[in-house]
């Protein structure tokens, strides 16, 4: 897997802060553009980008606490909690210059029960023009996924046990599921984070010999767009919950005892499916 350092070395990235003073941002971007040869393309007024996150089950909005969904194994399920981190949202301009949305070191927390977490407002001097694509990291990369970086809830409560690699969950999706035609329900913690390799395949924290970074990069399909001078760009990033359970490796809840933590094979298969769970669309306005 490409490391965070390798990935960042091949990108010319200019970070855009949501909370910095607008004048300082403008000066920073102007200087950066001069260094990278982008001088005539810069806007005369700031560009506003609104990023909204939405959660769906296939084509319909996710409704929590409702046993109405069905996975690829024909099991019924409902989602009781959905929390995850998206980081390093990067706009890839057609001239080869990249712009990373910078907020809390590029890390954004989304919680299906906290409506305000579904919005990210970027006020910055992003040069107008054409962009080839948008990419992002699902979870937090190895360099940034550090224990105790978040001191307050709800982000703080996403911690991943230090003995299992530390840092934070990439995603917590808590479920209840049942076989179709049966009444008994079972809990399942669909939690993604750092995996472990155990000596002799004995799943015991004392037997851990190495850790596996399961965050992953996504270059979003059909994500080319343009920013016109004086217009606001609205970006909607969608996660299809059902895609986590189908795709390269159809997921069977019965195969695992209520959760995926400490099972690297399950984490790996889930992440292969998750690479196709994220999509993006755009709207524009005055």
Give per-residue pLDDT as tens, 63-80. 999 999 998 888 999 999
User: How far is the C-alpha of 130 from the C-alpha of 125, rounded, in Å?
Assistant: 15
Q: Are 242 and 71 in contact (CB under 8 A)?
A: yes
Mean predicted confidence (pLDDT) in 188-214: 93
Mean predicted confidence (pLDDT) in 47-70: 92
Check residue 132 and give its pLDDT. Answer: 94
Length of the chain equals: 286
Question: Tokens 């300082």 appear where?
Answer: 24
Please provide the DSSP assignment of 204-266 as one string.
-GGGEEEEE---EEEE-TT--EEE-TT-EEEEEEEEEGGGGGSSSS---GGGSSSB-TT-HHH
Which range (32-41, 99-108, 185-194) has the least confidence? Answer: 32-41
Q: What are 90's two structure tokens?
A: 């990067």
Q: In this model, does residue 41 exceed pLDDT 60? A: no
Give me the number of domains the chain comprises: 1
Check residue 46 and give its pLDDT. Answer: 58
| Average model confidence (pLDDT) across the chain | 82
- Residue 58: which domain range? 4-285
The structure's pTM equals 0.82
């Amino acid at each position: 897997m490409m490391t965070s350092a390798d990935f960042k070395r091949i990108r010319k990235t200019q970070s855009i802060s949501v909370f910095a003073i607008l004048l300082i941002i403008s000066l920073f971007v102007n200087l950066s553009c001069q260094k990278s040869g982008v001088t005539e393309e810069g806007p005369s007024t700031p560009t506003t980008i609104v990023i909204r996150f939405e959660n769906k089950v296939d084509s319909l909005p996710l409704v929590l606490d409702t046993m109405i969904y069905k996975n690829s194994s024909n099991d019924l399920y409902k989602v009781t909690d959905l929390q995850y981190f998206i980081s390093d949202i990067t706009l890839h301009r057609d001239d080869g210059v990249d712009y990373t949305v910078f907020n809390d070191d590029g890390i954004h927390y989304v919680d299906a029960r906290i409506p305000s977490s579904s919005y990210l407002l970027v006020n910055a001097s992003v040069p107008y023009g054409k962009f080839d694509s948008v990419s992002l990291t699902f979870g937090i990369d190895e360099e940034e996924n550090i224990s105790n970086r978040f001191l307050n809830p709800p982000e703080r409560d996403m911690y991943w046990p230090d003995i299992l690699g530390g840092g934070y969950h990439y995603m917590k999706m808590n479920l209840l599921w049942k076989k179709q035609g049966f009444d008994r329900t079972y809990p399942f913690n669909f939690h993604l984070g750092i995996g472990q390799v155990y000596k002799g395949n004995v799943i015991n924290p004392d037997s851990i010999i190495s850790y596996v970074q399961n965050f992953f990069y996504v270059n979003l399909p059909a994500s080319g767009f343009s920013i016109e001078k004086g217009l606001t760009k609205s970006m909607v990033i969608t996660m299809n919950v059902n895609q986590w359970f189908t795709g390269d490796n159809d997921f069977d809840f019965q195969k695992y005892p209520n959760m995926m933590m400490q099972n690297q094979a399950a984490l790996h298969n889930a992440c292969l499916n998750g690479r196709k769970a994220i999509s993006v669309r755009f709207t524009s306005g005055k």
